[in-house]
Chains A and B, each alone.
Chain A
Amino acid sequence: MDLLETYVNLMKKYAIKANVRIILELNTEFIREQGTIRDISSLEAIDTMSPSILDASQVEFDKSLELINGLSVSLPVENFGYFSSRLSSADVQGYSMDAPLAPHLAKHRPLVKADLAEDLGYRGEGIKIAILDTGLDTKHPDLNVIYYANYSRASTDEDVDGHGTHVAGIAAGRGKTGKWGLGVAPKAKVIGIKVLPGYDSNIIRGMQKALEKGARIINMSLGGPGTPWDPLGKAIYNVYKKGVISIVAAGNSGPNYGTIESPACNPYAIAVAAVNYDLKITDYSSKGPSVDGEVKPDISAPGGDGRLMIISLRSKNMRNRTAFFYGDYYAKDCGTSMATPFVTGAAALVLEALKENGFSCDGEKLSDTIRYLLLSTTSKISANIWETGAGFLNVYNAVTKARKIDSPKKYEHPRPRPPIKPPKKCYRRGIASTDFLGALSTILKRYKLPSVPEEAENVILAVKKGAGLEALTLFSTLTSPYAIYRDLLVIKEIESKLPRSKSIIKSVKNAISHLAYLSKNSLISEGAEFEGTMWEV
């Protein structure tokens, strides 16, 4: 079910009177009859296609969209079924919800100069990339999966979350279904290892398997609490010593400083921050310093935000977050998870360029050199070192330098004074509240959202009337930051675990409100921790 259907069904189910904005894509034949799309600039003009339907459906004209030969219109939700069922295929090619845009991969590749690197002939040919995540859709036409295993705590091998497939598409999408599915290293081979849902031990086991299968780069778009040298941190260093580099999401616990998650906090992980389509650091992206006071993140790349998410590959087994679907092959998402595979793909191209150059070294020196090539060639953006590390990924600069390098090199960040005292632990930030609307309001305030779209207001109303996760998912799609979705999932989890006794509920609510205060002030963050504390009160 796509976004439009989800929205219309939800509004109908909860009897909410709302308008829906849709984009009609007109047939060129119809436009030719009318003159040009510019001539179809009012309802009077489109009235010619089926006046009675437009009248009956109370359709209102918004604007003409010349670029796509389309029109933006709005109509009451309750009339949508009648309107869509009577649209003539001779006039209208298709329609979709007029929702926030999500640029596809082909729009992001030029941002990191991957298209220029491709012009030089670099596409990651034969380089093995391991994606340690929620799994992969191994049959997706855009992925060249050469090995797949499940080391997670889930019994199903499938990528039901869809996160892993989306991440893999950014790193190594082949573009066989079109430019929307073209990643940074389309000729790379993908080793898919499902480690989520899971713990550090699941991930370490996955890393071991990736090593055995010949992976040269390990992508970990995951995070949580931990310390730089805990077992997962040690595993990152152990593979680094063998010439295998780990590219890790910095965390979605921003905007405060000192919010780098684990395992990105390990000094040998390349921690990736997320910038939006305007090349501004996102609110959610975790910031340094790390627990040990070191500079983190190491680099930044496009991660999208709630207004402009990134379209990449969709797992056909994806069962949740239906509102994130973009047709059969694609889905949209945002987070430092999405920024990470841009760097992973870039590392594959760097390895390909080093190979072509005849550069020969291995082990830790090879890892040092790849890190050096990625971090010493970045573009500057308007963000400080604790937000973006060495800067914004520039794949073209990295491969150009890799073609000429003749000896191993090591990159050292400058060491400015940290903006805050380093935190004691790596946290994951969350919001705790038993009241959905209270939580929503906190989140909206926290992210200083300039406005809430009309559709989002309607979804909030649906939440008030008892709609569940579906409404919350839709809410996150229609409003903004990625964090809303994840935070609300945590809230939902907590709610589902509340005991029924009134006195217990009261004490739990008190505990949660206290924890919400701590969370708001960045004194506590991690979901599992506040669940644990909650039960003891």
Chain B
Amino acid sequence: MSNLNEKIDEDLKEKILKEEKDIPIIIMLSELNDANIQKLEELGVKNLDKLELIEGVSGIADSNLISKISKLDFVKEIHLDREKRPL
């Protein structure tokens, strides 16, 4: 986990360093297309869902996998999918 890159947000980095599993994430892509989604699926990202509005996908991944997918060229950013509540 030593080479966590700039694509990963700070809160997510903390979770990766703790080697957490099943982390909800949002992946921003250079292009939202079937080929890129399939690649993420093949690597093991679970519950993939398209987010057209931001050219991204949401899904669930373990720490190791997040580090791996952050190195993909078509992956622009990876963020923690944070919970929101009524105010």
A336 & B87 in contact (Cβ 8 Å cutoff)? yes
B81 within 8 A of A: yes
Contacts of B87 in A (CB 8 A): 221-223, 249, 251-252, 261, 335-337
CB contact between B84 and one of A208, A224, A235 (< 8 Å): that residue: A224
B54 within 8 A of A: yes
A251 to B24 alpha-carbon distance, docked (Å): 23
A222 & B53 in contact (Cβ 8 Å cutoff)? no
B85 & A222 in contact (Cβ 8 Å cutoff)? yes
B52 & A200 in contact (Cβ 8 Å cutoff)? no
A134 to B26 alpha-carbon distance, docked (Å): 22
Query: How extensive is the interface on chain B, given as a class?
Result: 20 to 34
Q: Tell me if B's interface is mostly helix, strand, loop or mixed.
A: strand
Bitwise, B44-87 to A at CB < 8 A (1) or not (0) is 00000101111010100000000000000000000101111111
Contacts of B24 in A (CB 8 A): 199, 201
B82 & A234 in contact (Cβ 8 Å cutoff)? no
Residue of B nearest to A226 (CB): B82
A163 within 8 A of B: yes
B85 & A223 in contact (Cβ 8 Å cutoff)? yes
A252 to B86 alpha-carbon distance, docked (Å): 10
A225 to B80 alpha-carbon distance, docked (Å): 10
Contacts of A163 in B (CB 8 A): 86
**Inter-chain contact count A-B, CB under 8 Å?**
96
Least distance between A19 CB and chain B CB atoms (Å): 34
B6 within 8 A of A: no
CB contact between A161 and one of B9, B18, B49, B86 (< 8 Å): that residue: B86
Contacts of A196 in B (CB 8 A): 84-86
B40 within 8 A of A: no
Residue of A nearest to B78 (CB): A231
Least distance between B14 CB and chain A CB atoms (Å): 10
Least distance between B39 CB and chain A CB atoms (Å): 19
A337 to B87 alpha-carbon distance, docked (Å): 5
A223 to B82 alpha-carbon distance, docked (Å): 10
Least distance between B23 CB and chain A CB atoms (Å): 11
A133 & B86 in contact (Cβ 8 Å cutoff)? yes
A to B CB contacts below 8 Å, 26 in the list: A163-B86, A196-B84, A198-B84, A199-B58, A199-B81, A200-B81, A200-B84, A201-B24, A201-B49, A204-B26, A204-B58, A205-B49, A208-B51, A221-B86, A223-B85, A224-B83, A230-B9, A230-B79, A231-B26, A231-B28, A232-B82, A235-B54, A239-B53, A251-B87, A252-B87, A425-B11
Instruction: Mark B residues whose CB is within 8 Å of A.
Output: 9, 11, 18, 24, 26, 28, 49, 51-54, 56, 58, 79, 81-87
Q: Which 7 A-B pairs have the closest CB atoms?
A: A201-B58, A163-B86, A249-B87, A337-B87, A224-B84, A208-B53, A231-B26
